Every structure is written in structure tokens, then in C-alpha cells.
Chains A and B, each alone.
Chain A
Amino acid sequence: MWAYLHKLASPQGFYALSVRLSPWCWGLALTLMVVGTIWGLGFAPADYQQGNSFRIIYVHVPAALLAQSIYVTMAVAGLVFLVWRIKLADMAATAMAPLGAAMTFLALFSGAVWGVPTWGTWWQWDARLTSMLLLLFLYFGVLALRGALGGRQSAARAASVLTLVGVINIPIIQYSVEWWYTLHQPATFSVTSRPAMPSDMWLPLLVMVLGFYCLFLAVTLTRTRHEILRREASRRWVRALTGEGS
């Protein structure tokens, strides 16, 4: 077990695993997202209050979930890197940051255009919306640090520290709808109770959420591989790969 984990934590072991797994993740992500989009846009019933604007939920909720999940994953990777000095953890954190920023932006944008017909405003400085905007700036900060400091060790440490400090924002996003008065409705899904919407509304949402998570996995596996190649380009095992083509 430990030997296996040790092998996985080595760039070379992870590389082999990623080559095998990532095509499946990409395929699954594409399939689930196409099915979920067609189902959600064309077949799910319209909401009796919100009408068809409710269909924005099928991009809004998966994007918001991913935005936070990616951040937490990055923070865990940052901790692993700082404590155990495992380079692979930092490579993975580097790989997933842009997707996290994109998903945070998508959650904010889809929320804003959903807000216009539903709340009569596209923006409000309330707790949920503001903490989500802060998340976007945290992503920008991490990306800017890595961009400015290049691939050096100091960039990795600074980005990890910033990610870890910013993780305080995640429970604030989570509980903002309960702690403060906000326009935003409470969570649609919870682990403990059945969803408060009919199954032909939440099933396509579930498909979309799973599709987005598959995409997260696919992007992270593939981009971590690229990061490994970039940082270890002079190693013998990487040079040996060129014999096999691309």
C-alpha cells in the first residue's frame, strides 16, 4: 500500500497513471455534459415560478461547486507540498488553478444573468456574492504569483501559503446563506435530505455536476502531466519518452 502510494507520488509513477486514466475522464466528461445540457435545456420542465430562466441552474450550480472544490483541493495540495515537500502536489495545484478561476467566473456570470429576471438585479453586495467574488480574486492572486515568480521554488511556496490563507473563505461561502440575510437561496443539494425539486429537474443537474467533476479530473491529470514534462524535461525517463512519439 505504502509502496504503491510512494510510486504514485513520484512524477514518473503519476505520469503513467495519468496516461492511462485521462482519456476516460475526457470521454466521460464530454458525454455527461452533452447529455446533461440537452436534458436540462430541452427536456427538463420549466419552473412554475421562474419559467425557463431556471435552466441556468445546470451551469450555475456545477460551476459554483467546482469553483469551491478546486480551491479546497488546491489548498490540500499546498499543505502537502509545504509539509512533506512533495513536488507533485505543487504541480497538481498549478495544473488546476486556471480551471478553478474559470469556474468561479462562470458561477458569477451565470448567477448575474440569472439574477436579472429573478431578483431584478444582476449584482448585490451581499455575503454569498461578495465571498464568491473574493474567491475569484484569490484565484487571480495565486495565478499572478506563479506567473510573476516563474517556476521557482519561491513561487510554489508563496502560492501555497496564499491558497492556505484564502481557504478561510470557503466556509464563509458555504454558510453565507445561513449566517446573513442574502438574496441567494440556500443549497439545492444536500447529502442528508431529498432535493426539494422533482426528479426530472434534479437528475439532469446531477448529470451535469458529475460531468463537471470528470472535467476537473481530466484537466488536472492532463495538465499535471504537462507540468511534469516541463519541470523534468532534462531527466532521462522523460527524454526516453520521445522515442515513443507524442
Chain B
Amino acid sequence: MAFDSWQAFLAMGGHGVYVWSAYGVALLLLSGTVLQVRLERRRVWRRVSRQARRGRQRGMDRGAS
């Protein structure tokens, strides 16, 4: 451990503002990336299943006529 206490860890020898803001923005950007990918995944699958349903319907129409 490079620090004696949690207080010392948070203070970062007086450089806490700089260190934690850099890590905070990193965490924000990285979790934002993960969230974006997950939302995109849902959106894309919804679109694919819509297309598939439409395709099946078209297939049935053709089968009926």
C-alpha cells in the first residue's frame, strides 16, 4: 500500500482534485460506452425481430394465395 489511511488515499497528497477528476471522467466515459453498447444491442434486436415478423407474414401471404 502506498498510503497509510483512507484519508491519505483520498487526499492524494494534496493532488486529490486532479487525480480523482481524471479517474472520474475516465469512469464516466467508459461506463457511458458500455451503456451505449447495451442500449444499441436492444434497439438492433428489436429491429431485427420486426423485420423477421414482417418476412414471415409475407411468406404466409404468399403461401395462402
Contact = CB atoms under 8 A, between A and B. Distances in A.
State the majority secondary structure of interface residues on B. Answer: helix
Interface residues on A, range: 35 or more
B2 A223 contact: no
Contact of B48 (A41, A43, A239): A239
Contacts, number: 102
Interface in B1-53: 1-3, 9, 12-19, 21-23, 25-26, 29-30, 32-33, 36-37, 40-41, 44-45, 47-49, 51-52
Given A109-B22, A110-B25, A102 B32 contact: yes
A106 B26 contact: yes
A242 B52 contact: yes
B23 A59 contact: yes
A217 B53 CA distance: 32
Given A59-B22, A239-B52, A215 B14 contact: no
Contacts of A156: none
A31 to B, nearest CB: 14
A105 B28 CA distance: 12
A55 B1 CA distance: 14
A113 B52 contact: no
Contact of A117 (B18, B37, B41, B48): B18
Nearest to B29: A102
B9 A116 contact: no
Contacts of A222: 37, 41
Contact of A43 (B2, B14, B33): B2
B44 A52 contact: no
Interface stretch (A76-84, A141-149, A165-173, A230-238): A230-238
Top 7 A-B residue pairs of the complex, sorted by shortest distance between their CB atoms: A52-B12, A53-B15, A110-B22, A239-B52, A242-B52, A52-B13, A59-B26
